[in-house]
Structure 1
Amino acid sequence: MDEPGAQTAGVVLAYHPTVEIRHNVRQLLTQVPRVFIVNNSPDALSRELLGDLDGDRVVILEQTENVGVAAGFNAGMRAALDAGFDYVWIFDQDSTVTDGMLDALLRAQARTDVKVGIVGPALRAAETGNVYDADRGQGSAPIDALISSGALFSRALLEDIGLHDEALFIDYVDHDISLRAGRAGYTNLKVFETLLDHRFGESQPSRLLWRVVYVSNYSPMRQYYMSRNRVILARRFGWGRWLRDDLRYAMKAWTKVLITERDRPAKVGAALRGLRDGLRYTAV
């Protein structure tokens, strides 16, 4: 029987990628036999940048338009499952795997004391190199929700709970599938012995009073979906630790938006429209 690593395919979601994606895909190929790149920006520049990566071990899945994060990841996951892989490992285009990451995730996936759901690495701030407080620990531990990038899914899990909710489009897509796994009786695991460098949005340093902070500078469109989808998920899954943690993060993020970021009126307006549409959303 093949080792689990040989049964794992990588999926990378590309949207107007930079040359950095080429390095990241090559690093991913040191740990998996095949990578499916979902090109969510079907323009000449993206095709040229990704073109010579196409080959026996890399498959480019061209989308007709930007179909969003959920549908983009689903396209890659379906292709991997159809190709016979039993595990799918998904990434944003700017995430780089570290040595031994897949082995660490698969060790957690093999735990028998819990019904294992989604497995993902701990996070380190790409801007500073600091490990987030919530990402310090040993071994692997239960967590309500994992971010998409670096998340490992088994075929058995996906056949049970389904793929990402494409109506969400972007933001909270990872929360939704994680919480659905938990609702179905699975335990999602964060693996502390491996780290993924992660960047929130177009993170840039800024001064807030006497401190240097990093601001995400999310666009008004992103603020709309974050606001809308937070409300949809709160209605879908109710109050819980995930929502308490998320609201704490949102309060800090909005303090930075209102004091330091550009286009503040547009972002506030977009967030308010998202709140309205989240309350009106019917397919909960």
Structure 2
Amino acid sequence: MAEQDHGGRTAGVVLVYQPPEGVIENVDLLLAQVPWVFVVNNSPSHSAEIIDGLRARPRVTVLDQDGNVGVAAGFNAGMRAALTDGFDFVWIFDQDSTVTEGMLPALLRAQSRTDLRAGIVGPALRAAETGNVYDADRGQGSAPIDALISSGALFSRELLEEIGLHDEGLFIDYVDHDISLRASRAGYTNLKVYDTLLDHRFGDSVPASFFGRRVYLSNYSPLRQYYMSRNRVIVARRFGMGRWFRDDVRYGIKAWIKVIFCEKDRPTKIRAFFRGLRDGFRYRDI
């Protein structure tokens, strides 16, 4: 089927939690590439004006959740709605990402590759704060990758019907690793598409100085540090310590250097990290 027909069969999903005003513009950019967008509202008691603005837009369905149900359950709510409405591809985003022009056609070209069984397909990443493309995201065409971040990722109905949706028990963090590695285990090849870029922010992205060098702090809460620590262990127990784990450890070391030397509330975050390690080893669904 022609690429543009695939685009017509693709629904967008945007997960929001106490969203900033910029999410409205991002949904409009997404609507320029897909026929329908499902906005999953994980904070129904907040940001009523912004949510009402989205609700009033044509070709947008707002799915109010019962409080903050988490990233996994939130994405799943939008994906289920899209599949129920007959869409064959689901393209998901969080509110920290910005859609760029021509992204969907680039992802669909990679998804239609005939030399492999394409799994999850996602764009290369560019730091929204600086405009710099991350070193690991420089390249051409599309290439296999173990794990993609959820935001900007394209899923086919075929894939989701075989491997299932996100693991809601993880709640947040490593949800994307888990579903990516499940796709690989099922014989799919996940692809990073270097011909298109997603502008993305990790956490607060607050600038700071570290030994005279400008860095950006995520400032994740102790709760996020807990889930990152716990879920890293859970996913490693499920899938082993492959290339994804080595890449993740390198990223984690850099992140914790900034936490220890630059961020506030360090003792609480360190305690949350160790509680997460403990609970990751105790997790019993494996």
Residue of structure 1 in register with 2:146 after alignment: 144
Mapped to 2, the partners of 1:158 and 1:279 lie a distance apart of 28
- Partners of 1:123 and 1:132 within 8 A in 2: yes
Partner of 2:269: 267
Q: Note the C-alpha offset of 1:169.
A: 0.1
- Counterparts of residues 145-184 of structure 1 (less than 5 Å): 145-184=147-186
Structure 2 match to 1:248: 250
TM-score, with structure 1 as normaliser: 0.98
**4+ residue segments displaced more than 3 Å:** none
Which residues of 2 match residues 118-267 of structure 1 at below 5 A? 118-267=120-269
After TM superposition, give the deviation of residue 248 of structure 1 in Å. 0.7
2:14 paired with 1:12: yes
Paired residue type of 1:64 = D
Q: Is the 8 A contact 1:31 1:102 kept in 2?
A: yes
Q: Is this contact kept in 1: 2:98–2:200, CA < 8 A?
A: no
C-alpha distance in structure 2 between counterparts of 1:24 and 1:82, whole Å: 24
Q: Name 1:69's counterpart in structure 2.
A: 71
Check the 8 A contact 1:24/1:94 in 2, yes or no: no
Unaligned 5+ runs, structure 1: none
Aligned to 2:54: 53
Pairwise CA RMSD: 1.0
The DSSP-based 3-state class of the residue aligned with 1:206 is: strand
- In 2: Cα distance, 1:249 partner to 1:96 partner: 22
Q: Deviations over 1:114-162 (max 9, x none)?
A: 0100000000011111100110000000000000110000000000000
Q: Percent identity?
A: 72
Q: Is 1:20–1:94's contact at 8 Å kept on the other side of the alignment? A: no
Q: Secondary structure at the match of 1:38?
A: strand
Q: Distance in 2 between matches of 1:25 and 1:56?
A: 11
CA distance in 2 between partners of 1:96 and 1:197 (Å): 5
1:56 Cα offset (Å): 4.1
Partner of 1:83 in structure 2? Answer: 85
| TM-score, normalised with respect to structure 2 | 0.97
